[in-house]
A = this chain, B = another copy of it.
Amino acid sequence: MMKHVIGAVCIKCGAEHEANDHTYTCTKCGGILDIQYDYTYIKSQLNREKLISRNDDSMWRYRELLPIEEGSRLTPLRVGWSPLYRAEKLGEWLGLRNLYIKDDGLNPTGSLKDRASAIAVVRAHHAGMRTVACSSTGNAASSLAGNAAAMGLESFIFVPERAPKGKVAQLMIFGAHVISVKGTYEDTFRLSAEAIEKWGWYNRNAAINPYLSEGKKTVSLEIAEQLDFKAPDYVAVSVGDGCTIAGVWKGFKDLYALGFIDTLPRLISVQAEGCCPINRAIETNRPLERMEENTLADSIAVGVPRNGEKALRAIRESQGITVVVSDDEILAAMRLLGATSGVFGEPAGVTGTAGVKKAAEQGLIPEDAVVVSLVTGNGLKDVVSAQRIAGEPRYVSPDMGIADTAF
């Protein structure tokens, strides 16, 4: 029972569906769905003052805006309510007077994906399902495994054989059943879909499950609240599959529909130049086309974005800006962000920041604009990339006289 949810609308043909866990894609055209809310009802239940007074320091402070059934048990991990830092020193470097960093790498398993997985395990649990599943090598997998463990659910994670052993180890620490597929990522995805169908597991493949971007939207609800319910002028997001930027936009649109904010931000969609199908589609105003996946920012290396249409719509509606950055620019941003702000992000996590830097240098962002750069994943997830840009320490001999050494 969800009094505040009207249904799920196909973003391609507009067909209306009931919001449930049987229908994830449009039964008429196969398009992906978008959850629709009854804002009038929500307004009768929630206002800004009520939100501000809440002690809940997790994404569940926004439960009235989330597609969870009444009486659901919430995942106990503290997902969300990540810090929003005013980045003064970085702002000085970039000529931006009101720059903020939202550090979503401080989520329980180290990435923004925890917000989506939290919704998945809550819905699965409420539906009486015992097992959740997805195919992924990265943050979606670890967030699902961690949140499932905390919720007392089993998880099955399908990974391609080439998945880094360290990431697989993290999954197994969370007690996940990991299925390593001797094939490509496409093979892995297909096998996971078959198994989910056959065994009736809860499906956390962001490719089709429309509830996941609803979880991700909480990052925007937080940004707005942390800025005292003023929307920023720009929000920069690293973009791969498209689910995150679509969720970011949905959050601000929700708050705008409720009258909690008076303006909407412009999105800055940042992709790696080695894999930027969404930005290319915007820039050329043509349909999405598959691209190679040539970037070290593995979490956003998605050649065939499955939430591409939602992402395109979000960028266009927001009169967004597209920026592509090289791997070198991504690594440089990792270092700049760390040294000026004390925030350590993984490559895909700081791609948005690299985009802000480039857009600022190109004069695309007014210097007084309020800009939020979303860091989506923790740098500890990929220390190998950090090593590539970190440089070498200074080596000294133990019998060196410190008095004679210049530092």
- B108:A172 contact, CB within 8 angstroms: no
- A387:B57 contact, CB within 8 angstroms: no
A78 to B341: give the CA distance in the assembly, Å.
Answer: 12
- B76:A85 contact, CB within 8 angstroms: yes
Q: Which of B108, B180, B403 contacts A106 (CB 8 A)?
A: B108
- A381:B379 contact, CB within 8 angstroms: no
- A110:B380 contact, CB within 8 angstroms: yes
Given A173-B386, A393-B172 in contact, is the A146-B89 Cβ separation under 8 Å?
Answer: no
A350 to B270: give the CA distance in the assembly, Å.
Answer: 38
- B89:A85 contact, CB within 8 angstroms: no
- B195:A402 contact, CB within 8 angstroms: yes
- A174:B344 contact, CB within 8 angstroms: yes
A405 at the B interface (CB under 8 A): yes
Q: Mark A64-87, 1 if CB is under 8 A from B, else 0.
A: 000000000000111001010110
Contacts of A147 in B (CB 8 A): 342
Given A106-B108, A195-B402 in contact, is the A393-B78 Cβ separation under 8 Å?
Answer: no
A274 at the B interface (CB under 8 A): no
Q: Which residue of B lies closest to A331 (CB)?
A: B173
Contacts of A402 in B (CB 8 A): 191, 194-195, 198
CB distance from A6 to the nearest CB of B (A): 33
Q: Which of B151, B198, B344 contacts A146 (CB 8 A)?
A: B344
Interface residues on A, range: 35 or more
Q: Mark A380-395, 1 if CB is under 8 A from B, else 0.
A: 1101101101110111
Which of A108, A174, A181 has the largest count of B CB atoms less than 10 A from its CB? A174
A395 to B161: give the CA distance in the assembly, Å.
Answer: 8
Q: Which of B106, B340, B398 contacts A182 (CB 8 A)?
A: B398
Contacts of A1 in B (CB 8 A): none
A86 to B73: give the CA distance in the assembly, Å.
Answer: 14
Q: Which of B77, B85, B161, B342 contacts A342 (CB 8 A)?
A: B77
- A172:B391 contact, CB within 8 angstroms: yes
- B199:A387 contact, CB within 8 angstroms: no
A173 to B391: give the CA distance in the assembly, Å.
Answer: 9
Given A106-B108, A393-B168 in contact, is the A342-B387 Cβ separation under 8 Å?
Answer: no
A208 at the B interface (CB under 8 A): no
